[in-house]
Amino acid sequence: MFDSVGWGEILVLIVAGLFILGPERLPEAASWMAKSVRKVREFATGAKEQLREEMGPEFDQLRKPLEDLRGLRNFDPKRVVTQHLFDGDSDPLGLSAFNGSNGSNGANGSNGANGSGVKPQSIAPQAEPLKPGERPPVDPDAT
């Protein structure tokens, strides 16, 4: 309930209440406020339970879209677009296979280009070279 209210705001409200109500009525007002909040929570819980009893299994079907809407608060468009375009592939361009070493030993004689001795996870299949006089394939969408 107090996710967006910090301690500074609460302190300001207490000081303002102290000046407005005075030290005599402030404890009474605080207890009234606590009782009111408790009653509202009880009413909300009771209404939720009553609705659940009356609707039965349809209540959960109604709650799911509402929870999905609540999940939009943490919506990250970049992550969603990347996931949609690349089907969740962490390396959509296949750059991890090349890693600068082309599968041979690097200049320093170790496995891998950075000298860490780590081999690439998967190596992309090499395309066959063109035969003499053969035309390369053309992709009209790429031009």
Q: Do residues 115 and 108 lie in contact, with contact meaning Cβ atoms separated by under 8 Å? A: yes
Amino acid at 114: N
Asked which of 7-16, 28-37, 57-66, 107-116 is least confident by mean pLDDT, the reply is 107-116
Choice between 23 and 113, residue whose per-residue pLDDT is larger = 23
- Which segments within the chain are labelled E, that is strand? none
Question: Tens of pLDDT along 59-95?
Answer: 777 778 878 777 777 777 787 777 777 776 667 676 7
- pLDDT of amino acid 125: 63
How far apart are the C-alpha atoms of 97 and 109, rounded to whole Å?
19
Q: Has this prediction a pTM greater than 0.75?
A: no
Residue 101 contacts residue 125 (beta carbons within 8 Å):
no
Instruction: pLDDT band for 114, please (50, 70, 90 cuts).
Output: very low
Q: Across 30-34, 37-41, 60-64, 95-99, which has the greatest mean pLDDT?
A: 37-41
Whole-number percent of the chain with pLDDT over 90: 10
